[in-house]
Structure 1
Amino acid sequence: MSTSFFSVVRRVARLFVPLLGVAALLPALAAAPAGTVIGNQAAATYSDGSAVVRTVTSNTVVTTVQQVAAVSVVASGTKTISIGGQVYYPHTLTNSGNGTDSFALSATNGGGFTFAATLFYADANGDGVPDNNVPITSTGQLAAGQAFRFVVAGIVPGTAVAGASNTMTTTATSGFTPGTTGSVVDQTTITAQAVINATQALDVTSGPSPSVGSRTLTLTFTNTGNTTATNLTLTELIPAGMTYVAGSARWSGSGATVLTDADAADGQGGIVYDHNVTAANRVTAVIASVPPGGSGTLSFQVTVNAGLPAGAHAATAATASFSYHDGATTVPASNTNTVQYVVLGAAVVSMTGATVTSAPQGGVVNFTNTITNNGNATDTFDLSTLTSTFPAGTTFQFFQADGVTPIVDHNGNGIPDTGPVPAGGAVNIVVRAILPPDAAGGPYGVVAKATSSADPTKSASAPNTLTAITASTVDLTNNGSGAGAPGYGPGPEAVAVSTATVASGGTARITLVVANGGSVADSFALRASTDATFATTTLPSGWTVVFRDASGAVLDNTGVINSGANKAIYADVTVPAGASAGATQLYFRAQSATTGAGDTLHNAVAVGTVRSLALTPNNTAQLTPGGTTVYTHMLTNTGNVSEADGVLSTGSLGVTDSAPGFTSVIYWDKNNDGVLDAGDPVITDLSQLVGGTNGANTTPGLAPGKSARLFVKTSAPAGATSGATNITTLSAALAGVNGGAAAPMAATATDTSTVIVSQVTLFKTQALDAGCDGTADTAFSPVAITSGAAPGGCIRYEITATNVGPVAVTSLVVSDATPAYTTYSATVPASATAGTVTAPAGGGRGTLQTSVATLAPGASVVLRFGVRIDP
C-alpha cells in the first residue's frame, strides 16, 4: 500500500514517455507534474476618450510546481513451499509521485521461521519469473507514474519445519524523500506435501488498440513439493478490454492438440478445459495430476479490443488463480502474477476554423476555432499560423475561448498552446487578427495549426476567412453635413458647389465640414489644389490656403474625429495683390493617412503690397518618457515681396516649451527630402535659408510664395509622467520696413506632445497559499514562484488596472482565467476593489472578471482570486 494520497488521485498526463530501464508500464501521472510551469497573464478592455475600444495585457507571472514523492507496491501474496526451497513473489511498484524518483528495495521477515536470504530480481516482462540471476537493490530512475515489476525471492532454510509460517514485508523507499515509503506483505507456509507455483506471461506486452493479430497468454506451473498434486485448477477471467480467441487453447501434456472450449466435463487426456461454460467469460482448466518436479504450460489467445485509452489499466491486465490438492488437503486458491498489456498512445487531432463576414479597417477580427483530441491520450497542442493572405501589417494572436485571456505556453517550449486536452475532449480557442488601417477588400484567409506535443508529426489545420474589410468613408461639404449640404456625397463634383468672392490682396474664408463615416475614430489630412486629381498640389502664383479650426489654430489635419461625428474647418484663401479678375476653380481634399479614405470638394474663388508669413500646421503627437518626436512645419512667404534677405528685412525663428524639462530644436530641411537627417542644419535666422533645394532658394530669405520645410525636434525628460503635456510654440518674426509696409505679426504654430505609456496599465502579482486557506503566505510579487508550490496547494493572484491617462476610461473589463493544471479556489471568493465580479464555481475552470463602468484618471482597480494546483 502507499503512504501518500497521490496513490488515490491520479490521471494520465504523459502517455508517450518511453519505458525506462526495466520498467514495464507507461505512467498514470499525478495531474500537476513536477517542474510544470503554470503561466498566467491577465487582460483588460476599455473605451478610451475617443470611444475606441482598446485591449491591454498584463505582465506574465509563473509558478513552478514542486516535486512530491509517493510510491505504491502491490500485490500481497500467500504461498506454500518445501523445506529448503525458494519462493518467489512478483510485485509491481509504481512511482505515484509527480516527478522522477528512484526507490531502494528492502525486506524484513520473521515468524515461525526466517528466510536464509531475501533477494530482489527485475521482471521486465511481468511474467513473474526473474529476468536473470543478478540481484538488484533499487529500481533505478522512474518517471512520474511509471511502474517497475520485480520479484522477491525468499530462500527457506533447511531447519524449517512443516507448518511453520513466515511473514515478509517488502519496502520501497523514495530517493527523493527518504521518509516516503510503500510496502507489501507476503505470507509463506512450510509444507511436506505438494507445492504448486504458477506464473503467467504475455507474448507481447504493449501495442496498439486494437492489437495487430492475437496475443498469447501462457500459464506455467511447477510442482516443487514432495508429493503429487492433484486436481490443479487454473482459472482466468478474461479482462474487459480483451476477447478470447475460440479454439486457441493448448496444453503441454497434449502438445499441438486443440483443447475444446465448450464442454466443462470432457476429459482430454488428463485435462478438462472450457471457456465461458463453468463461469462467464472465464477460462477454467483442471489438470488431473502433477508429480513432484513436474511442470507444464497452458496457453490460449486473446485479441485486444479497439477504442481503449492509452496506458496500463485494468481493461488489459490479466490475473490467473490456481488451487490444488497437495496430498493431504486442498490448498486455497492463490493468484499468479498479473500480466499487463500497455496500450500505446496515438496522437490524432482535428481542427475547425471560422468565417467572419466583415470587419472595419484597422479593426479586430476574432475567429473561434475548435481543436478536438481524437487520440487515446491526454495531449497538449501547440498553436501557430501558417499561410495568410491578409494584408501586410496584420498581426495574429491566440486567446482562450473567452476572447480576452491570452493563451500562454504551458509545456515549456516557448510556443503558445492549449494546455492538456483529454482524449476525446475539445477546446475552443480564438485566433485574433488585428487589421492594418489602410487595407480594404477581401476575402482574406489565414490557416491556423494545432500540433501535438506528444507526437509533433501529428497536426491539424483549419482555414479562417474574413469575407471583406469594409472601407472607411469621409464626406467633405460646405457649411454643414449630411444630405442637402453643398458637396454631399463622393466628389469631386463637376461644377463648383460654392463660390467665394475676395478682393485683390484679400482673404476669403470658406467653411468646410469633415464627416467621419467610418466605424472607428480617424483623422484626416487637409489639402487644397487647382488639380482635381491631386496628382499635384498646385495653387495659382501667389495664392495661399491656410486651414484653421474654430479657435483659429493653423492646422493641416483635422485631428481625431469619432465615428459618425464631424468637425468644421476653415480654409482661409489669400490671393495676391494684382490678382486677375475671374473665377479660379479650387479643390479641397480630406484624406485619412491610415485608411486612405478621402473625399474631394469642388469650390471656386472669384477675384497691392502685402507682407505676410504663414507657419503651418499645428501638430499633436505622443512620446515616451525620455523619448523624442519630430514635428514638420511649412514656413511660407504669403506676401508679395521677398523677406528676410538681410537687406530689405530681417527674420528670426524661435521656439518655446511650456512644460519643465522639455526641450526643442529647429532644423531646416535643406535637402528637401522630408526627413530630418545629418545634412539638415539647426536654424534660428531666416537669412540662413539659402543654397538648399527646398523652394530653390538661391538668395537668402524667402521670395514671395516660396516655402521652407522646418523640423522641430522635441525631447521629453526621462522622468516625465504618463499624461504629461507640453506645448511647443514655433514662431517666425519679421522686422524692418519693406516696400513701405511695416512688419506683420509673427507667424506661429504649436506642437502638443503628450507622454504616454498606455492609457490603462495592468500589473499582475502572485503569492503562494500552500494551505489553500485563502490567505497569502508571502508578499505579492511578479517574481516567479520556484519553491513551495506543491500539487494540492494554492496560488493567490492580484491584478491591478490603473488609468494612467489624462481622461477617464469607460466600460473597463479586467479579465483573467484559471491557468492549466489549476482550478478556481473559492475558499476566499474572488473580489475586486471596484466593479462587478464574475467567477466560475469553486473547483471549476474558466474566466474571472471585474467590470467597471468608469475609471477616473489616476484611479486603480484590483482583482483578487486564488487557484488550486491539481493534486
Structure 2
Amino acid sequence: MKLAFQRGLLSARVSASVMGLGLVLAAGQTLALTPAGTDINNRATVTYEDAIGNSYSAQSNESTVTVAEVYFATLEEDGEKFGAPGETVYFPHTLKNTGNAQDTYTLGAVDDDTPADSYTVYRDENGNGVPDAGESPVTSVTLNADESVELIVAVPVPASKVAGDEINATLTAETPNGVVDDLTSANGRDTLEGTNNDRVTVTTDAVLQLSKSAVVTGNTITYTLQVKNNGGRAAENVDIFDPIPANATFAEIVSVNGLLASSGDQWLNSTGDLANLPHGYSNPGDGDLADVTEPPGEDLNGNGATGETVKGINFRDALMGVNTTVTVVYKVSFSGTLPSGTTIRNTFAAEGDLDGDGNTDDPSTSNTTTTTIQPIYAVDATDTGDGDDDDGLNDVALQNQASSGATVAFANIVANNGNGSDVFDLTIDNDAGESYDDINGIGVVPPGAQAFPAGTLFTFWNETNNTQLTDTNGNGVPDTGTLASGAVRRITVRAKLPAGLSPQGPFVATMLATSFGDNTISDDKLEVLNEIIAPAVDLANSHSADLIDGNTDADAFNAAAPTDFRSVAVGGVATFPLFVANNSGNPQSFTLGANLPEGWSVVFREVGIDTDDGSGGPADGIVDNTANEDNVVTATPNLPAGAVYHYEAEVQVSATVSEALSNFTGTVTSSGLNGVDANGDSDGDYPVRFTVATPDGSISDQKLDAVDVIANRNVSVTPDGSGQVQPGGNIDYNHVIANSGNTTEDLAITGENSLAGDGWSSNTQLFVNGTGWVELSNLATGPVSLRKPNGEFITVEVDNSGADTVVTLEPGQRLDVQVTVFAPSNAPAGTVDTYTLTAGNANVSDTGTDTTEVVIGQVRLDKQAAIDTACDCAGGTWPAIDDAGFAAVQSNPVAPGECVVWQLTATNEGATPANEVVITDEQTEFTSNLVANEAVIASGGTAPADTSSLPVVEWAIGTLVPGNSATAQFCVEVN
C-alpha cells in the first residue's frame, strides 16, 4: 500500500472584483437566484362573523407567478497606461456571468477614433495580464452561471505616434439575452454598458509595463513580478514594491534578475538599504521587510482597505534602461488551517523617475492575482481482503481461478485521504506488475508473474459489480465519482478473459487511482489471477438432468415464450422457483438478478443447495440448510462444482396502476423485452427476465418468465367541497376525476343537485386547451385536449352522442373539473344543497360531493398578483388597486431581484354586515423582504397591516357592510 500525499491547497487565477446584481445585491454579497420556471403560488384566507356571531372562513383563489430565466453579466474595468511608439500595451479585464443560465458573449475591441481599426482580445488562461504562448485570440466566450473569464485587450501603439497622443480603445461584450453591466461606468471614463475603455497615452519617456503571476505548490505561493521598460528613455530609481498579501507570510526570495549590486541596485527595508541584493536571502523577520504605503485608492495586499502602510518587499533599480526587464520571484506561505475558499489577492506596484526631471512619477500597478484555498489531494488504493484474498490489506486483490472466457472480478478500495472532495481516475496497466511502485514494502508481485492473456478487457464497476463506472469529470477516463474527504469507495475491476485460452499463471495487472484535482497524486495496487479454467452455468425453473449436464441449456431463453407465469393483482407478489447449476468445474459464486418493469422490485430467498448429480430429483443431495432457508440473498454461496442452488424470486408488482396494467402492450425499459401473452387470455403480460452471473460477469445465463396482472378497476372523484353562498349567488368547486385503476375506462360524467326541485342548479365544466372552461354537453365528440390538475394537457376521447358525456381515461390519467353551483334568490338562510358529481360505468364509479350553505352575510376573497420590476413598493409606491397589471395567474414571468405585489380583496356579497373581518396571508417560498401596505376599505377608512408574526401578515378590517370591500397589498422580492 502506497500512501501518496501532497499539500496542494491553492489554485491561482487573475482576480475579478466581487460582483452583485444591481437591483438585488450590494457588492460582495452572494447571489442565490431562484431557478427559472419555478411557480410561486399563494393563497389567502378571510375570517368573519355574521350578525348573530357565527364564525366563517373562506380561502381565496390560488394566484401564481412564474420565475423567469434571467441573464446578467458584468465587465470590468477601464484601463489607463502609458505606451511608447511601437509598443503593444496590454489591458486586463474580467467578464462574469451573474445570471442563472449559461450564456454566450460576443467580444470585440475597436479604436474609438477609427472604428474600422480593431484590436485583438485574448483569453488570459494563467492570469498574468499578458498573452502567453498558447493563449489564442477569442471573439466569443460561453460562460456558465457565476463563471468568469479573464480577458486581455492588446493595443499596439503605431511608431508614428508622438508624445502626448492618445489612443482610446473600447472593449465590448454583448449578449442578445441581456445587458452586460460595466462595473466602472459610474466612476470610470466609459459610461456605456457592456464596454470598457482603455486609454494609452503616448510618451517618449520611460514606460513601465508590469505583469504578475502566481503559482501554487502545497501551502506556498510563488509570485513572479516582471517590470519592463518599454519606453524611449531610461527610468531612474525605479522602486518595485509588493506588500505581503493578507492571510500569508513572507517565505523567501527565489531569484532576482536584472538587478546588480554593482550598479547601485538595492533591497530596501524599514530600517535602511541593505548593501547587497538578497540572492538566497530567506526568511527575514518582519523588521527586515519594507514599510510599503499603498497608492491612494489601491488595495495591493487584498485585505479590503486602501492606502495603508503595510509590510512587503521593495527593490530599487537605480537605472532601468530601455527594453530592459527586472524579474523578481519570491514565495509566501500560509497556514494549512485556512478555510477552503479563502482568497489571497495581491497586486504589486512600481514607480520611478520616468522623464528624468529628478522627481518620482505616479506609480503603475500590475494585474491582480487571486489564489483560493483548495483541498489537499491524497489517495490510497488497496485490496479488500475479501473472498480468496483473505490475507489482509496487502495491495494484492487475488482470485485463485477463473474460466476461460470468463470475467474475473477483483475487489478494490479507493480512499480519499485529502481534505476536500475529489474524483479519482481509474486505469489498468496489463504489465505483469512491472510498474507497481510499492513504496511501503507491503505488496509483492508473485514469482513467475505474466501479463493477462492478449485480448483481456479491463473495466471498472461498482462494489456490487452491477453498474459500470463511467467518466464523471469529463476527461474521458472512468473514475470513482466524487468522494468526500475521508470517504472510501469499494470498486470492482473486471478482467474479461479471452475464450479458448488457458496459459500458465499467475496473471498480474497494475491498477492506478489518480486524483483529478492533482494528477501528480496517485496510488497503485495489483490484480492477480492464479489459474484459468473452463466455465459454465445454467438457470431454470426446475431441477432436471438437462440443468446439470453442462451441455444443454435448460429453459433456454426465448423472448416470445416465457417458461412460467403467475397471475397477481396490482401491488401483489408473484413467486417463481429458480435453480442455478454451477457447471464451471470449480467453486463459484453467482450474482442473482432480474430485469423488471419500472416500479417493480424483487427479493430472492434461499431454499437450499443440491450437491448430488440430480438423479434423485430436486430433493436429492440437498445440503442441510435450516439456518439459511428463507434468508434474503443477492448471490449464491460459493457453490462447489456441479452443485445446484435452489432459490425463489418474490416479484413485487408495483402498486402504481400505470406501472401494473392489466393489458401490457409496451416494452420493459430495463430489458427491452415486449409484452407477451403467457397464459393465452388475450391480454398482454409483463416479461420478467431472471439472470445469474459471476460477480465479474464472465459466466452468465438468463431465462424468461412472465406476470399476468389481474384487472383492477378504480375511479376516483376528489375532493369533496363545501362553501357558503348568498341567496341568488353562486360558488365554484374544483375536482379531479382520476382513473386510479389499471384498465382503460369509458366514464360517464354526470352531476345532480339535491335541491334541484327548489331552484338550485349547477354547471359542470372541463378545461379545453385553447378555449377554457366548457360545459360538459358542449364538448365536441372525438379527441379533445383537456387540462390535467397540474396544468398540462392530455388528449382524450369524448363521446357526446348519448344522454351523458362519456370520457375515455387511460390508467393514471386525471382531469381538472370545475363545478359552479347556483342558489335561487329565494333560498332561506341555512339551506344546504348537496351537489353530487359522478364518474363511472357499469363496472366502476365514484362520486364527489359539494355542500353549499346559504348565508345572509357572505364574504368572498379574491387574490391577484402584479410584477413590480423596480420594487417601488419598498419605497412606498404601490400599484393602484384597479391596476390592469394584476391577474390571478400572471402570464409574464418575474425575474430574480424583481418584486411581486399580491393584492387581496375581501367583498361582502351578502345582505347583512360581516363582522370581525380579518384577512390573513403568508410570505411564500423563494421570496424575501416582505413589505405590507395598509388595507383600503372601499367605503372609507384603512386597516393597518400586522407583520409582527412574519411570515404571517394580517389585516383586521372590522365590519364590512353589504357590497363593501377591503383591499390589502403586500410586496415580496423574488430571491
State if a TM-score over 0.5 links the two structures: no
TM-score norm. by structure 1 comes to 0.42
Q: Which has the larger radius of gyration?
A: 1
